[in-house]
Amino acid sequence: MERSAIKVLAKRGLSQRRIAQELGHSPTTIARVLKEPVDQRPATRRRRSKVDPYQPQIEQWLKAGLSIVRMLELARADLERPYAGGRAVFSDHVRRIRLEVERAAADVPVRFEGLPAEYLQVDWGEVRAFPFTRQRPAKRFFLACRLKHSRWSWVRFTADMRQETLFRGLVDCFLALGFVPWVLVFDNMKTVTSGRDASGQPVWTPALLQLAAEFGFHPEACAVGAANQKGAVENLVKWTKGHLLPGRTFLDDADLARQADAWLAQVNGQPSAATGVPPVSLLPREAAQGGPLPATARDYGLLEHGQVSAEALVSVRSNRYSVPVALVGLPVTVRLHRDRVRLWRDTELVADHPRAPDGARRRVVDVAHFAPLFPKKPRAQVMLYRAALLALGASAAAFMTELSRRERARLGPEVLGVYALYEEVGAADLLAAMERAAHADDYRAEALGAWLARRRGQPAIPPLVLPGAPTQAEIDRPLSAYEALVQVDVALDEAVTAGVGR
């Protein structure tokens, strides 16, 4: 009742000193009661148990992994103070001690916020099926990245989780940000780490270390067994699956990408639950602290190493690419771009080829690389030129196949002539000429040249000029000159005939 009276008097506006005078208590007591509830639950008093003297020993037994039955046997066999209580009481006490020990040893997660541009969390997500994926497999993957400071997020859907797909996704994320974060945190994915060394440190793949060195970031992996680190990264995947996919339908991969971009623009522009401000509003602060993008970011080539074979070819992803023959037997540096394969010898670019699909087992050749061999190997020159022409497309392959069949005796000059036209006019005009010549059933280099000449408005066959030969104007004569010559010849014949008769 007195506690309730103290509360009522305080609500009426009386000071703590006045209430103390009215009720006969000290001001300290009045201040304490005002902070406590009116109905204060009395403290329970724990009765001493016969098991209490054994608590230090029970804690050691728990660490040693002993069972409750064995602990009870040891307690009852204690020579100094044998346990004389019941089994149920002992078991309950052991369970309570075990719970206290587990609570004391529990790993309490400590959350912290990153500095601007400090951490970029990276993880893969997997969606097993989409309604539009009728082909097999129907899986789709997505690379999810998020800045820890601003909560700015980036998502890219892919058809695989290969290392190159990961690295190109990271570079595209850097381009979207306009800077490179200091640290990239990975969830121990196999494309970036092959495990841990003896000291527990991650063993990074050489390709990731190369990417980190060229872009200037530091890789980190979630500690094994650290649920708070792993959960922080994995929550990004759960968040994407829970907010982007439900309630949406997608026509195809292009529509999936468009809707994902629209969703990202929306969530990055809304206040974050963690910071209370939109992530995009914090990006300028992060950009000011982030690392600069290298000049090669927009056309980044993954680094690999190669060896030039005896055929002046370098094997790259199950395809072979030519280099100049002078490099046979030497090591080269390979840069894999999205659509090109560039090969370097030290700091010199020695070959630049269109990239063939990985695993296609194609032979991609630049015939200029073998030019020093042509004086000694003219047939090799013809075959290389023909292979280059065959690679121009279906119409070129059909034309060159028929030319090789019909003009077998003149195969070398014909192939060299067609290739000379290719170097002169380019692939598009040459293919058009091949289609026109094939329609006319004329499979010769001369036919191609004639059609190209007519297209440019030039004579079908250019005049042949030989050193020391008279011009065509000097050769051409009027018909009357030939008639005079004929009459002279007739007169000579008659004179000769008359002489013979005499």
Cα 135 from Cα 132, distance rounded (Å): 9
pLDDT at 487: 55
**0.85 exceeded by the pTM?**
no
Q: Going by C-beta distance under 8 Å and a sequence separation of 6 or more, which residues neighbour residue 275?
A: 150, 151, 282
pLDDT at 468: 55
pLDDT tier at 189, thresholds 50, 70, 90: confident
Gyration radius from the chain CA atoms: 44
Q: Is the confidence at residue 103, as pLDDT, over 80?
A: no
Contact between 319 and 294 under an 8 Å Cβ cutoff? The reply is no
pLDDT tier at 494, thresholds 50, 70, 90: low
Contact between 355 and 314 under an 8 Å Cβ cutoff? The reply is no
Contact between 451 and 436 under an 8 Å Cβ cutoff? The reply is yes
Helix (H) or strand (E) holding 154: strand 153-158
pLDDT at 495: 47
pLDDT tier at 278, thresholds 50, 70, 90: very high
What Cα–Cα distance (Å) separates residue 353 from each residue in 113, 329, 336, 338, 426? 46, 20, 10, 12, 17
pLDDT tier at 245, thresholds 50, 70, 90: confident
User: Tell me, what DSSP letter sits at residue 339?
Assistant: S
Q: Is the confidence at residue 429, as pLDDT, over 80?
A: yes
User: Tell me, what DSSP letter sits at residue 470?
Assistant: P
Contact between 376 and 332 under an 8 Å Cβ cutoff? The reply is no
The mean pLDDT value of the chain amounts to 85
Burial 275-303 (b: 16+ CB within 10 A, else e): eeebbeebbeebeeebeebeeeeeebbbb
pLDDT tier at 45, thresholds 50, 70, 90: low
Cα 150 from Cα 281, distance rounded (Å): 8
Helix (H) or strand (E) holding 268: helix 253-269
Helix (H) or strand (E) holding 402: helix 394-406
Q: Is the confidence at residue 344, as pLDDT, over 90?
A: yes
Q: What integer is the mean pLDDT of 350-374?
A: 94
User: Tell me, what DSSP letter sits at residue 180?
Assistant: B
pLDDT at 492: 45
CA atoms within 13 A on the CB side of 488: 6
> Which of 437-446, 449-458, 469-478 has the least mean pLDDT?
469-478
